[in-house]
Amino acid sequence: MTVEVTPRGPWWRDAVLYQIYPRSYGDTNGDGIGDLPGITARLDHLEWLGIDAIWISPITVSPNADWGYDVADYCDVDPALGTLADLDALVAAAAARDIEVVLDLVPNHTSSQHPWFVDARASRDAAHRDWYVWADPAPDGGPPNNWVSSFGGPAWTLDPTTGQYYLHNFLPEQPDLNWWNDAVRDEFERILRFWFDRGVAGFRIDVAHMVVKDRELRDNPPTDENDDWIDQIRGQRPVYNASRPEVHDVYRQWRTIARRYEPERLLLGETHVQNLATLASFYGHDDELGLAFNFPFLFSSFEASPLRALVDATTAALPHGAWPVWTLSNHDVSRAPTRWCEGDIARVRCALLLLLTLRGTPVLYYGDELGLPDTDVPFDRLVDPVSMRYYGVHNRDAARTPMPWSADAGAGFTTAGVEPWLPFGDLAAYNVTDQRADAGSTLQFTRDLLALRREHDDLHADSSDDAGSFDDVWMYRRGERMLVVLHLGEGRVSIPLPGPGPGRVLLDTQRTRDGDAVSQSVEIEGWRGLLVALD
Ligand code: NOJ
Ligand code: CA
């Protein structure tokens, strides 16, 4: 086996990231809504857990048609979440614990209540008219082209005042910006610097692949049975409203800005594309995004062979020097303990072992450390318009409920007796306090695994080699001496181990074999994983 020795890259290469949905982490003023001081108050948990950076979903001013992803002011904090001073305090308190703070930037669209759009829709001559994408009706009075919104229905809404349609690839309350306009580009560069200058370590970039649209607004072609299932549901391939070649200019420019800071600022793209070559293109030649999210991984089934193939194909597709990023859950999909693991904690720990030992940067979603499943949010408690529209099929609110800090009234999240903005899940079954007190808990497992990552450079080495995987068994070497054995299936199997000498189990997902010696082979039952140090 060859071990590549590469110089340490930017900070995020060795980091473990942790996504926080700010309305659901900690509520310090008793209004049932999480806030920035509520995150600051929980930094002790994050330091104890051993993460390196948090990414916080949007904290900027928002009328909340899409809960923060409709921005009405890019340079201020939403009053429900706090103030700029609260953000500065959070960044400082996090820095004192060696934790970086990454924010969320939404460049594809604003809120329809953003002053730019209020001005733009007032008249065809408005100063900000060309900041958005306007087009005349089709000859029959209908939308200018066939594009559909990611949330369903046409991507165009007629604005009666000026008689033109405006583009919205999401809700009508989220008009798309016109990235062909240099004034828009200049403004976003200013916004980047505004936050970077405050010590913000980078941005997760919302729908990063979509920002630039076809200048001629051509119709998207229809799908066929070979297309991705999401595109098939929409009936069209997103050829002209996403992944346009010109988007790369934007990220090259942003990377230049990010590189002027010390440490370099992270650009982490929500590159929601199915094709791995397209995904790879967002890294550019080490001059675009620092990390680009891998949605095919997230949407794979939790089975050894397709997942392994996907990870291998990703490695092959990424340009030299590009570093993968992996996540199991986020605020838009069902949580992995439910979606991948059917609530089975044995499987959840296998998923965590995989996430935290793959070659690349892992991103935990708040609650992953507990093995937290989705919360059953009934229709009358839904707050997300997408979950209401697709009720029974797709429920984003189920993965956005408050962090369960304890089983007490208020869950340690809010004041006892206060109704949280989204309902609590099963507090007795999953909460931080109980799991901290239990050495065998998933929380302690996650923490022990993160500590091993820090202790052993092999676990973030550049090399990863298959070590004899077969059927439901996935085995890979990390660095020189680390071996990950995952049995993602049923039954008991005997696995021959690579390498001449004996080794030792550093971490067992079931915790009963920690420290055991292993030699030529291991017996392992289904849905169990071992991290082994080879001698
Ligand atoms: C992706 C975000 O993650 C999602 O929550 C949002 O609804 C859309 N982009 C639109 O901003
Ligand atoms: Ca609050």
Ligand nearest to the Cα of 271, by number: 1
35-44 tens-digit pLDDT: 999 999 999 9
Task: Judge if the beta carbon of residue 67 lies within 6 A of ligand 1.
Answer: no
Q: Which of 518, 451, 527, 450 is nearest to 489 (CA)?
A: 527
CB count within 10 Å of CB 45 equals: 18
Mutate to test the pocket of ligand 1, among 206, 330, 333, 389 (most ligand atoms within 8 A of CB): 206
Q: Is the pLDDT of residue 500 over 90?
A: no
Distances (CA, A) of 437 to 304, 357, 409, 419, 511: 33, 25, 19, 27, 16
Whether the full predicted model's pTM is greater than 0.95, yes or no, is yes
Helix axes 442-455, 345-355, angle to 10 degrees: 20
Question: What percentage of the chain has pLDDT greater than the value 90?
Answer: 96
Distances (CA, A) of 164 to 106, 137, 250, 450, 528: 24, 6, 27, 54, 58
367 alpha carbon to ligand 2 midpoint, in Å? 19
Give Cα 378 to chain centroid, integer Å: 25
Ligand nearest to the Cα of 27, by number: 2
And the tokens for 305? 């062979």
Q: Which residues of 172-203 are buried (b: 16+ CB within 10 A; e: fewer)?
A: bbbbbbbbebeebbeebeebbeebbeebbbbb
Q: How confident is the model at residue 9 (pLDDT cuts 50, 70, 90)?
A: confident
Is 486 in contact with 474 (CB distance < 8 Å)? yes
Task: Judge if the beta carbon of residue 69 lies within 6 A of ligand 1.
Answer: yes
Q: How confident is the model at residue 1 (pLDDT cuts 50, 70, 90)?
A: very low
Is 86 in contact with 40 (CB distance < 8 Å)? yes
Sorted by sequence, the CB contacts under 8 Å of residue 467 that are 6+ apart come out as: 475, 476, 477, 483, 497, 498
421 alpha carbon to ligand 2 midpoint, in Å? 10
The pLDDT assigned to 7 comes to 52
And the tokens for 154? 């046409």
Sorted by sequence, the CB contacts under 8 Å of residue 198 that are 6+ apart come out as: 84, 87, 88, 91
For the chain, give the mean pLDDT. Answer: 96
Task: Judge if the beta carbon of residue 207 lies within 6 A of ligand 1.
Answer: yes
Please give the angle made by the CA atoms of 462, 313 and 461, to the nearest 5 degrees.
10
The pLDDT assigned to 8 comes to 66
Q: How confident is the model at residue 4 (pLDDT cuts 50, 70, 90)?
A: very low
Section 442-447 average pLDDT: 98
The pLDDT assigned to 5 comes to 43
Ligand nearest to the Cα of 104, by number: 1
Section 27-33 average pLDDT: 98
Section 460-472 average pLDDT: 94
Task: Judge if the beta carbon of residue 71 lies within 6 A of ligand 1.
Answer: no
Which strands, in side-by-side order, build the sheet including 156-159? 134-135, 164-167, 156-159
206 alpha carbon to ligand 1 midpoint, in Å? 6
The pLDDT assigned to 3 comes to 41
Which range (5-19, 253-267, 278-292) has the least confidence? Answer: 5-19
Task: Judge if the beta carbon of residue 341 lies within 6 A of ligand 1.
Answer: no
Considering the candidates 270, 288, 397, 458, report the single residue annotated as catalytic. Answer: 270
194-232 tens-digit pLDDT: 999 999 999 999 999 999 999 999 999 999 999 988 899
Q: Is the pLDDT of residue 467 over 50?
A: yes
Ligand 1 atom closest to the Cα of residue 66 is 7
Q: For this structure, is 206 an active site residue?
A: yes
Give DSSP secondary structure letters for 404-453.
---SSTTTTTS-TTPPPSS----TTTS-HHHHHT-TTSHHHHHHHHHHHH
Mutate to test the pocket of ligand 1, among 108, 109, 114, 207 (most ligand atoms within 8 A of CB): 207
